[in-house]
Chain A
């Protein structure tokens, strides 16, 4: 089994005897773990160190003597107690294990040669190690149709299932999606979904990884490789900002599988399906493999690197530095981010650099507030004030950790959100505010009383409960902040977070921003007014000027301002670092005008996106698992990204393109050989990165990565935005994300691309009834800026007075309704 026992700190040691040796174990821990930690591995199928034991498979029977004589007992169900005498290898135990294996094999087909699990199968391995040489079973085995699809990506072969309860426990206890269950009884027991209700959990792929036989297999990996043909390297998933540790497995220079690694501070071996099956995008036929340039007939056609680089350098050289802007960079490695920050700010001399597309939080908020780690947020005794996006949809593994904290460790979660989320069932109190009311709500919670006229949609009793919990938390208060509503100004969250920071100075903050290495981009200075290492241009400009030769003289523009300037033809060169503003910037009209208005658009991307199609020069870049580097997750944890395969065609790593362009401009980026040089330069000059140098990251104790210095930096209190009163006829718009959307990455994954739902408008029953509309009715949503039509879904999780639309789904684009200058978006909904 690949699962390792959890690392624990022994606080209450007891001495037990294992196979004649006296060893120390933690009082009350499970015997199976204590024995494994003391070099007496006990075979098992159903026990998983990250799930509660059930004692289902009986494989872990050992002889335990607690003073009443030895008896066979399942070691996964026995808590360690002082003076226990355990025998894990004697004749009785061997006979029991042998018997259990013969029993499990009674119905298990011997189709190992055609089974995906063969070669890495715990049942196969343990039969060889502990089992009978041959079977006495001559009767017919049970037969089922094999395999059946229980979801879009997972297949179930019921003949192979040994009924260990791992997948069903995972679905219910870990993921909270009990869509698979044992049905029937005795020898007819099988795993099944409800008819017509597939196992469509965002976490279904984990059941494939933990299945101890080949009963559950994943469509993207089926029959693609044998385990002994796979090579693997450990890395960090860059699907979102949680930074789950994974192994990247490949065969013949093709990535074939990601498996979760048990990283104690982060993902506990779990992955979401979007991350797990995201490897398909790496192998996509549509990856860009050579540079593209706009030809005279107005189409993008393949060019040579030298031509493309020269054209790009010429455009940059010809432009005034203040008319060059860089958008994006959140998907890059820390090294490439540093290289691009240095290239843009030190060499070109522009500060119009922003890694966020108006969908994040200001760098001062993310970097200025005292930081919290996932472990601190989820620690027993913690109180969590959750003011972020729906974690199940955007940061799925963070949801698993929060759910576990709430259910198993008694952590109180106070959720403040515009609509019910995947976290709501586990929150101790859940308040759904009207868009733009968050600052007022937080102020009231901190004051302990609602304003006299109340707040729309806020129940007084629930409010009092939340307020008391919040005020009682003090030192154990951890605040999760993020963008729960893309149609609302980021200032609302910033003001609310600032109010908590001032009222409860001991509170720490975790920024739940979705883009993979966004934290790294902000730390590297890919944001206006900042330089690497959380230093501000105004205060620390001189120090970096000494290293880089020059820095911009004044703070630059953010993405919204850059697009506005571009729309007014004030941007000569717009560089897109893997960014797709035409799909991702919330205000669609401004994005279109901005990208069209820039004179030269240079794009670095792995795919042709809506924005790269508008570019003049497109550089193909190496993506995940195709380059070496480091990654910073949302907590500020730096881990290694390792290369496993080569990029397609002539695609290069982002920092190489920065270095080449610098050379063409007659400057030196200071990198000769590889990305390590960039990291060494960065960490040597940034105080917050002092502890994460290459040497420190390579230390064996740093397997889970290393945290940056999370101490607070000077924090500027944002000003509360002015919100016009809501018209009594209009609704306020909530735009949020769903895990599967039309994003570039997911769009190029064969098995996940069909999972994105169609666009819809969600209204509360109270708002849907006066329209005379029901589920499926086509409704038109209009704002002063545009209108869209989509099917209605009546959703009791949406508060009265609001409407929810999902970002980036096929069929209706909420971006058409939004004006980025507004704090909230007021809309009307009518039946079409």
Chain B
């Protein structure tokens, strides 16, 4: 069983409230579940379906489109070594082979202590910093095999816990949004005008009202 913890369930309900249509919260909730468990368990997807009012198959269909949602249990640190062209030219494949030997696993595997999952990844858009490695989607640049060993040691010892959160939180699901910053929670069918136009009008009206309230000399000072 892996379902949202009480705190995460409350957060999930808060996230759902940010959207005019509950189903829009599917992906943020998948992020939240992955943040909690490291991967998207079947139970989590079923619970997300319940929360947003769709079928479990729809959640699975949506989540499985995205490589970065893991469908199986992974280690605390997902180590992705890029082997695309720039990294390959600058030793990415050797780095991967080194990582395989250091960790004793093949790409896709997880170490027995449950700490590391090794991945052979496609271009991660850090070509100028090749060879590049991602740990839970945090970047480490221009690594030599020795650097990689050191990185693995530091991760193992917990020295990098502040820099690399467990499982990697991708989306800003935890962000604190003030009421005024929530985009729009009016259902689409009830919307008469786009929210930004309304905001703009409200601000303009407020400014006009402020102008009217202050004596006309105030304007001349500026």
Select one of B46, B60, B67 contacting A181, CB under 8 A.
Answer: B60
Interface stretch, picked from A189-197, A614-622, A630-638, A770-778, is A189-197
Considering the chains assembled together, what is the distance between the CA atoms of A192 and B65 in angstroms? 13
Stretch from B50-58, B106-114, B133-141 contacting the other chain: B50-58
Could you tell me which residues of chain B, from 29 to 46, have a CB within 8 Å of some CB in chain A? 42, 45-46
In angstroms, Cα B55 to Cα A195, docked, is 12
Instruction: Tell me whether B42 and A183 are in contact (CB under 8 A).
Output: no
Q: How many A-B residue pairs have CB under 8 A?
A: 41
Majority secondary structure, B binding face: helix
Complex CA distance for A178 and B62, rounded to whole angstroms: 13
A183: chain B residues at CB < 8 Å are 60-61, 64-65
Interface size range of chain A in the complex? 10 to 19
CB-CB contacts of A166-193 with B at 8 A, as 1s and 0s? 0000000000011111111100000011
Establish whether residues A194 and B42, one from each chain, have CB atoms under 8 Å apart when the complex forms. yes
User: Is the pair A182, B61 in contact by a Cβ cutoff of 8 Å?
Assistant: yes
Contact A180 B65 (CB under 8 A): no
Residue in B60, B65, B67 whose beta carbon sits within 8 Å of that of A194 in the complex: B60
Known: A178-B54, A178-B58, A181-B58. A194 touches B64 (CB 8 A): no
Contacting residues, chain A, for B56 (C-beta < 8 A):
194, 197
User: Is the beta-carbon distance between A194 and B54 smaller than 8 angstroms?
Assistant: no
Taking A179-B55, A194-B46 as contacts, is the C-beta distance between A185 and B60 under 8 angstroms? no
1/0 contact string of B60-81 vs chain A (CB within 8 Å): 1100110100000000000000
How distant is the Cα of A182 from the Cα of B63 in the complex, in angstroms?
A: 11
Nearest A-chain residue to B62, judged by Cβ: A181
- Known pairs A194-B45, A194-B46; A184 contacts B55 (CB<8 A): no
Interface contact B65-A181, CB-CB below 8 Å? no
- On whether A178 and B55 interact (CB within 8 A), knowing A194-B42, A194-B45, A194-B46, the answer reads yes
Residues of A within 8 A of B57 (CB): 178-181, 192-194, 197
Give chain A nearest CB distance to B57 CB in angstroms: 4
From residue B174, how far is it (CB to closest CB) to chain A in Å?
A: 27
> Which chain A residues lie closer than 8 Å to B42 at the CB level?
194-196
Closest chain B residue to A188 by CB distance? B64
Determine which residue in B59, B64, B65 has the highest number of CB atoms from chain A within 10 A of its CB, and name it: B64
Q: How far, in Å, is B23 (CB) from chain A's closest CB? A: 11
Q: Which residue of A lies closest to B45 (CB)?
A: A194
Q: How many angstroms from the CA of A192 to the CA of B56 in the assembled complex?
A: 11
Q: How far is the CB of A194 from chain B (nearest CB, A)?
A: 4
B61 closest partner in A (C-beta): A181
A88, B64: Cα distance in complex, Å: 38
Closest to A182 in B: B61
Of the candidates B45, B46, B64, the one whose C-beta lies within 8 Å of that of A184 is B64
Listed residue (B54, B55, B57, B64) with the most chain A CB atoms within 10 angstroms of its CB = B57
Cα of A196 to Cα of B46 in the assembled complex, Å: 11
- Chain A residue nearest in CB terms to B66: A185
User: What residues of B have a CB within 8 angstroms of the CB of A180 in the complex?
Assistant: 57
B64 touching A185, Cβ below 8 Å: yes
Contact residues in A for B67 (Cβ distance below 8 Å): 185
Q: Which residue of A lies closest to B67 (CB)?
A: A185
Determine whether the beta carbon of B55 is less than 8 Å from that of A185.
no
What 0/1 readout, one digit per residue, does chain A (39-55) give for beta carbons within 8 Å of chain B? 00000000000000000
Q: Mark B14-39, 1 if CB is under 8 A from A, else 0.
A: 00000000000000000000000000
- Distance between Cα atoms of A196 and B41 in the complex (Å): 13
With a CB–CB cut-off of 8 A, which chain A residues contact B55? Answer: 177-179, 181, 194, 197
Give chain A nearest CB distance to B11 CB in angstroms. Answer: 24
A194 to B61 Cα, complex, angstroms = 9
A181 to B, closest residue via Cβ = B61
Residues of A with C-beta under 8 A to B45: 194
A475 and B13 alpha carbons, distance in the complex (Å): 44
Question: Would you call B65 and A184 a contact (CB within 8 A)?
Answer: yes
Contact A192 B58 (CB under 8 A): no
- Binary B-proximity of A724-749 (CB < 8 A = 1, otherwise 0): 00000000000000000000000000
Q: How far is the CA of A192 from the CA of B46 in the complex (A)?
A: 15
> Which residues of chain B come closer than 8 Å to A196, judged between CB atoms?
42
- Closest partner residue, chain B, to A197 (CB atom): B56
B residues near A192, Cβ cutoff 8 Å: 57, 60-61
Residue of A nearest to B53 (CB): A425
The minimal Cβ–Cβ distance linking A176 to chain B, given in whole angstroms, is 10
Q: Which residue of A lies closest to B49 (CB)?
A: A194
Which of A177, A181, A184, A196 is the most central at the interface, judged by chain B CB atoms within 10 Å of its CB? A181
Contact with B65, one of A178, A179, A185, A193 (Cβ below 8 angstroms): A185
Bitwise, B66-105 to A at CB < 8 A (1) or not (0) is 0100000000000000000000000000000000000000
A124 CB, nearest partner CB in chain B, Å: 29
Q: Which residue of B lies closest to A180 (CB)?
A: B57
Cα-based distance from A185 to B63 in the complex (angstroms): 10
What residues on A are CB-neighbors of B58 within 8 Å?
A: 178, 181
Q: Which of A178, A179, A185 has the most CB of B within 10 A?
A: A178
CA distance A748 to B208 in the complex (A): 78
Q: Which of B46, B58, B59, B61 has the most CB of A within 10 A?
A: B61
Q: How far is the CA of A195 from the CA of B42 in the complex (A)?
A: 8
Q: For the complex formed, measure the closest distance between the CB of B211 and the CB atoms of chain A, giving whole angstroms.
A: 42
Give the docked Cα–Cα distance between A193 and B58 (Å).
9
**Which residues of B have CB within 8 Å of A179?**
55, 57
Chain A residue nearest in CB terms to B55:
A178
Question: Which residues of A73-115 have CB atoms within 8 Å of chain B's CB atoms?
Answer: none
Closest to B54 in A: A178
**How far does the alpha carbon of A177 sit from the alpha carbon of B65 in the complex, in Å?**
21
Rounded to whole angstroms, the CA-CA distance of A199 and B57 in the bound complex is: 10
Min CB distance, B189 to chain A, in Å?
12
Residue of A nearest to B59 (CB): A194
Query: Which residue of B has the minimal Cβ distance to A186?
Result: B65
B46: chain A residues at CB < 8 Å are 194, 197
Contacts of A185 in B (CB 8 A): 64-65, 67
Report Cα–Cα, A192/B59, bound state, in Å: 12
Q: Enumerate A177-224 residues with CB–CB distance to B below 8 Å.
A: 177-185, 192-197
For A181, list chain B residues within 8 Å (CB).
Answer: 55, 57-58, 60-61
Residues of B within 8 A of A197 (CB): 46, 55-57
Q: With A and B bound together, what is the CA distance between A183 and B71 in angstroms?
A: 12
What chain A residues lie within 8 Å of B65 (beta carbons)?
183-185
Q: Closest residue to A190 on the B side, CB-wise?
A: B64
Q: What is the bound-complex CA distance between A29 and B58, given in angstroms?
A: 30
Nearest CB of A to B42, in Å: 6
Q: Considering only CB atoms, which chain B residue lies closest to A184 in the complex?
A: B64
How far does the alpha carbon of A194 sit from the alpha carbon of B45 in the complex, in Å?
Answer: 9
- How far is A517 from B64 in the complex, measured between Cα atoms in Å? 48
Contact mask A570-601 → B, CB, 8 Å, 1/0? Answer: 00000000000000000000000000000000
- Return chain B residues, CB-CB under 8 Å to A184: 64-65
5 smallest A-B Cβ distances: which pairs? Answer: A181-B61, A194-B56, A183-B64, A181-B57, A194-B57
**What are 25 contact pairs spanning A and B, CB under 8 A?**
A178-B54, A178-B55, A178-B58, A179-B57, A180-B57, A181-B57, A181-B58, A181-B60, A182-B61, A183-B60, A183-B61, A183-B65, A185-B64, A185-B67, A192-B60, A193-B57, A194-B42, A194-B46, A194-B55, A194-B60, A195-B42, A196-B42, A197-B46, A197-B55, A197-B56
Q: A179-B57, A181-B60 are in contact. List 11 more A-B contacts (CB 8 A).
A: A178-B55, A178-B57, A178-B58, A179-B55, A181-B61, A192-B57, A194-B42, A194-B57, A194-B59, A194-B60, A197-B46
